[in-house]
Amino acid sequence: MTFEGADAQIVAYEESIADELGESPAPLPIGFGTLETNFKRLGEDINYGRLTVDEAVDQWFAEAESAMQQ
pLDDT at 69: 79
Q: How many CA atoms lie within 13 A of 51 on its CB side?
A: 16
Closest CA to 61 of 28, 39, 31, 32: 39
pTM, rounded to two decimals: 0.59
Residues above pLDDT 70, as percent of the chain: 99
pLDDT at 33: 87
Q: Side chain identity at 64, as an amino acid letter?
A: A
- Statement: residue 51 has pLDDT above 80: yes
Per residue in 13-42, pLDDT tens?
999 999 998 899 999 888 888 889 999 999
How distant is the alpha carbon of residue 14 from its chain centre? 25
How distant is the alpha carbon of residue 50 from its chain centre? 27
